[in-house]
Structure 1
Amino acid sequence: MDLRVGEEVPMEEDDEFTLSRNYFLAKEGSTSRKKSARKLSDIDLVDEQVLRMAVSAIKPKHEKEIESLLKSYKDLYSKWLFELRCGFGLLMYGFGSKKILLEDFASTTLTDYGVVVINGYLPSVNIKQVVITLAEVLSDQLKHKRKNSTGSKSRTQQPFSSQSIEDLLSFLNLQLPDDNDCFICVVIHNIDGPSLRDSESQQYLARIASCSLVRMVASVDHVNAPLLWDKKMVHTQFNWCWYHVPTFAPYKFEGSFFPLVLANCGNSQTTKTALVVLQSLTPNAQSVFKILAEYQLANEKEGMPINALYTKCRERFLVSNQVTLNSHLTEFKDHELVKVGRHADGQDCLHIPLPCEALGQLLQELG
């Protein structure tokens, strides 16, 4: 603004100048105030069990409205069944738990078909066991239909548990020209759950969905869930029909396996989690972990060199070669039971990310 001496400043410009000056004075005052020294780590966290009990005691709101909303979706059941019979899959999305909705649809509308429910929100889901269960349910359904039509017993076959996953998928993909309405339904709560998000699990689920005798009904809750699939999986294998069905129901079951933000995940909780993982591994893998834990308790400041671990494991006849040991270590690393570091001398060393007290407790629990 070009102002000459002796000239008057117009009223509008004067107001604008005052406004600007007050703004910068206010900003200057706000930055000069003393900042709080409090940190997030200063929050006094409570025990997880206590917090979960407190959460469960909270009275739910809008129960009537939620129930009314769920009832309104019943009008779509016949349409959903028609689309399943036409070979499509159903994918439900929207805010709120859809567990009650999917199970009500299955129990009221899919009564003429075999139904297998997969809880994708669980910490681990065994895909091979899922395929075995599907094959067993389908086999029973086919036997029942043949018995009703011919009155004769079907011949016995090799147990499904001893067959490969490829053979099981071939069985689920049988062609039955005489009956186009024979299929089994897979209901998956949270197909985008943490244990199913890896590429291998999604590829297997897509192959299951594409089998001629399988129909899939699933729910998603993560905003990026569609990124799990490519075009072929969406349009050819899953063959989704997308439905926006917000329920606004609490994620009571889905959230029960996730750590709470305000919970104190102390040593006891960490030990409990590690114990659950280790108990799912083979006895040899557990013994390898014990050797590593015992070394760490005796040498707190050092990780165990991989060569030393291999020597100990061979002495106790736990592994016969380096490849076997590496497979155990891969499992440990995948479950975040072991971290890999490097010694000052350049050796790769293994370290269990648990304090000594928790590690000792874990060894006692393992026996």
Structure 2
Amino acid sequence: MESNELEEEEFGFSRNYFLAKELGGSSKKSARKASDINLVDEQELREAYAKLEFKHEKEINNLVNSYRKSYAEWVFMLRCGFGLLMYGFGSKKGLIEDFASTALTDYSVVVINGYLQSINLKQVTVALAELLMEQLKTQRKLENYLKNQQPFHTQSMDDLISFLDGPHWDDGESFVCVVVNNIDGPALRDSESQQYLARLAACSHTLMVASTDHVNAPLLWNKKMVHTEFNWYWYHVPTYAPYKVEGIFFPPILAHSGSAQTVKTASIVLQSLTPNAQNSYCEKLTCLCNLCRERFLVSSQITLNAHLTEFKDHELVKTRRNSDGEDCLYIPLSSDALQKLIHEISQ
């Protein structure tokens, strides 16, 4: 057999092998449908939560109070240049805020609540810069710098961080402290927010204390962020305290709330599909199915059709007839819901 024929045979074999693998994987369909996910009413959920009786309150208070003995050590570690990262089961909001209000009274403190749905880090950074400026004014350390000083709210994040990093003066006693409840919260999980927080933590005139609860929180940071910028010193401080405040602001994923519910149910269903199927669905949200081929998400029209069939089975895509009598595919979500879904499944 000639070499060209051997190469053609090998190419055909490999092509058929990967095609069979792709089709084989897509044939194992999940039985989940969006309509099968029954979500409770939000008000009903909140009423049930309000009636919960939390146990062992005395023991929890004693445990949290026992951590007070470590406050002096924590302050020492902060002054040594470490960021403090508190982890362990239970809400740590009360603990780290008590630490800030009792052991960090020499510094100005700004609290960031990562469990909120939206956080403006630019406003937080402006507040930090203003607090540091007040300290330096009191100490009369910035008289020359203040002559050309622009209002902080008109400055960029880079300029604000540059100010907090203190290249304009030589001072080792002026600090502002950032307390971050749930640094892995939904409003802070994006890469840009984590990068800004890391840069803030690395500033020479900022101290950072944060708590984390998600088991995959370390995946938010690369090696440089962990060891150079945040420079975390990890403290295991389980409190077993209920997440009362965090639970109020966290989106009720079990509750029915219009488009938010639709996005959540669609997200749950999509999580049961293959990564290529999820990516294909994202591309279809913009009605540009040809991008699926260009980005090698599917290798053939057969595979694309298989994904479409799967989406229809799961009720992620529906069919309706237009005025010309043709069947058209559409996604039964509003524009806002589509944007939220793309953001959620792209994380």
- Work out the CA distance in 2 between the residues paired with 1:94 and 1:250: 12
Does residue 231 in structure 1 map to residue 219 in structure 2? no
**What SS does structure 2 have at the residue aligned with 1:58?**
coil
Query: Residue 42 of structure 2 contacts residue 257 of structure 2 at CA under 8 Å; is this kept in 1?
Result: no
Determine the C-alpha separation between the residues in 2 that align with 1:167 and 1:43. 48
Residue 44 to residue 218, structure 1, CA distance change in 2 (3 Å): closer
Name the structure 1 match of 2:55.
61
2:68 is the alignment partner of 1:74:
yes
Q: 1:108 aligns with which of 99, 102, 113?
A: 102
Quote the residue 1:278 is aligned against: none
Question: For 1:129-155, what per-residue CA distance to the aligned partner results, in whole angstroms no more than 9, with x for missing partners?
Answer: 2211111111112112329x99xxx65
Is the Cα–Cα contact under 8 Å of residues 304 and 349 in structure 1 kept in the other structure? no
Match of 1:185 in 2: 177
User: Aligned partner of 2:73: which letter?
Assistant: K
Distance 1:186 1:349, change over 3 A: farther
Q: Given that residues 190 and 221 in structure 1 are in contact (C-alpha distance below 8 angstroms), is that contact kept between their aligned partners in structure 2? A: yes
Asked if residue 133 in structure 1 is aligned to residue 127 in structure 2, the reply is yes
Contact 1:81 1:109 in 2 (8 A): yes
Query: Measured at CA, do residues 351 and 139 of structure 1 come closer, stay the same or move farther in structure 2, by a change above 3 Å?
Result: farther
- Kept in 2: contact 1:305–1:350 (CA 8 A): no
CA drift at 1:211: 0.6
Q: Distance in 1 between matches of 2:209 and 2:59?
A: 25
Q: Distance in 1 between matches of 2:201 and 2:253?
A: 36
Higher-Rg structure is 1
Alignment-mate amino acid for residue 106 of structure 1 = A
Q: Does 1:258 align with 2:260?
A: no
Residues 77-101 of structure 1, C-alpha deviations (whole Å, 9 max, x = no match): 0111111111111000000000000
- Cα distance in 1 for partners of 2:36, 2:194 equals 41
TM-score calculated relative to the size of structure 2 = 0.63
Percent identical: 62
TM-score, normalization by structure 1:
0.60
The alpha carbon displacement at 1:177 in A equals 6.6
Match of 1:353 in 2: 333
Segments of 5+ residues of structure 2 without an aligned counterpart are 1-32, 265-284, 289-316, 338-347
Does residue 144 (structure 1) correspond to residue 124 (structure 2)? The answer is: no
Residue 163 in structure 1 maps to residue 143 in structure 2: no
Partner Cα distance (2:163, 2:333) in 1: 44
Q: Size of the alignment, in residue pairs?
A: 251
Q: Is the contact made by 1:304 and 1:351 (CA closer than 8 Å) also made in structure 2?
A: no
Cα drift, residue 305 of structure 1: 8.4
Contact 2:129 2:160 in 1 (8 A): yes
Assess if the C-alpha contact under 8 Å between 2:259 and 2:334 holds in 1.
no
Within the candidate set 106, 114, 117, 1:120 is matched to 114
Q: Does residue 267 of structure 1 match 2:258? A: yes
Q: Return the letter of the residue paired with 2:166.
A: L
Q: Per the alignment, in what secondary structure is the counterpart of residue 223 of structure 1?
A: coil
* Partner of residue 210, structure 2: 218
Aligned mates of 2:133, 2:188 — CA distance in 1: 26
Counterpart for residue 50 of structure 1: 44
1:76 and 1:176, CA in 2 relative to 1: closer, same or farther beyond 3 A?
farther
How far apart, CA to CA, are the structure 2 residues paired with 1:170 and 1:350?
49
User: How far does residue 258 in structure 1 lie from its aligned partner after superposition?
Assistant: 3.0
Deviation at 1:257, TM superposition (A): 2.8
Change beyond 3 A, Cα 1:89–1:349: farther
Partner of 1:241: 233
CA distance in 1, matches of 2:206, 2:330: 45
Letter of the aligned partner of 1:213 in structure 2? H
